[in-house]
Amino acid sequence: MIDVPRSKQFNDVYFSPQDGLAETRHVFLAGNELPEFWRGSENFTICETGFGTGLNFLAALKLWKEEPQYERPKELHFISFEKYPLSGAEIKQYLSHWQELEEELEELLAVYPDALDHGQCYVLDVIDGVRLSLIIGDVNEEMPKLEDGSLVDCWFLDGFKPSSNPDMWSETVFSNMARLSVAGAHFATFTVAGFVRRGLGEQGFEVRKVSGFGRKREMSVGTYNNM
């Protein structure tokens, strides 16, 4: 039985009770066309809204490790925002279920800080070639602080249901995504909420519906067309 964490603030689960890892692989990895999309890049940056338990990060880390060295980017940078950080002990409790992630979980916990302060960015060298920048605070306050530039190759939008957490799906987030995206950047998210799709569209993202995970019929993916 999977011990699925539930947020008190948002009355929502962190990942699918059915199989969170399979959901991550379907929605965020396949949804962003990984690993094919990172092949041939020297450096590749993923940016996530909502670090939570770190399940998405561990799945991306595992995928990168499994790729032949000549195909994967030399450096993988994973940036993630989190307003309500979990402790290392909580992350261990929630993710230990997946034996196939045991090694990656240990790698994360070995560098995960004991205390995480708001307004801070913790740059963690998780393994050689993979860096995690964990930014603690509200994404609406922290994302605008990232320096201008084509930084992000793909986006994992994972901030609880838009109906229960509209703040995570704001115009501030969408306009900063456009500001920080490389031309042709990908995004993927589990939601097909109309205001999210319109908000991304207004910022230059081409938005498509594809099959969702499990009982969710549809999800959204897309590409940033530089305006």
Query: Interface residues with ligand SAM (CB under 6 A)?
Result: 14-15, 50, 52-56, 81-84, 138-139, 158-160, 165, 167-168
Q: Based on CB atoms, which residue is closest to ligand SAM, 35 or 50?
A: 50
For the chain, the residue count is 227
Q: How far is the CB of 173 from ligand SAM (least distance, A)?
A: 9
**How far apart (Å, rounded) are the C-alpha atoms in residues 25 and 18?**
13
Q: How far is the CB of 1 from ligand SAM (least distance, A)?
A: 18
Q: How far is the CB of 210 from ligand SAM (least distance, A)?
A: 19
Q: How far is the CB of 96 from ligand SAM (least distance, A)?
A: 14
5 cis-preceded (ω within 30 degrees of 0): no
User: Residue 123 is inside which H or E element, if any?
Assistant: strand 121-127
Of 55, 61, 19, 5, which is closest to residue 213 (Cα–Cα)? 19
Q: Based on CB atoms, which residue is closest to ligand SAM, 138 or 153?
A: 138
Q: How many Cα atoms are found within 13 Å in the side-chain-facing hemisphere of 204?
A: 15
Q: How far is the CB of 68 from ligand SAM (least distance, A)?
A: 26
* CB burial string 180-197: b at 16+ within 10 A, e below: bbbeebbbbbbbbbeebb
Q: Based on CB atoms, which residue is closest to ligand SAM, 165 or 175?
A: 165
Of 143, 153, 6, which is closest to residue 81 (Cα–Cα)? 143
For 161, other C-beta atoms within 10 Å of its C-beta total: 16
Task: Find out whether 50 and 159 touch, Cβ atoms under 8 Å.
Answer: yes
Q: Based on CB atoms, which residue is closest to ligand SAM, 67 or 167?
A: 167
Q: Based on CB atoms, which residue is closest to ligand SAM, 39 or 84?
A: 84
Q: Based on CB atoms, which residue is closest to ligand SAM, 90 or 206?
A: 90
For 96, other C-beta atoms within 10 Å of its C-beta total: 12
CA-based R_g, the chain, Å: 16
Q: Based on CB atoms, which residue is closest to ligand SAM, 173 or 185?
A: 173
Q: How far is the CB of 200 from ligand SAM (least distance, A)?
A: 17
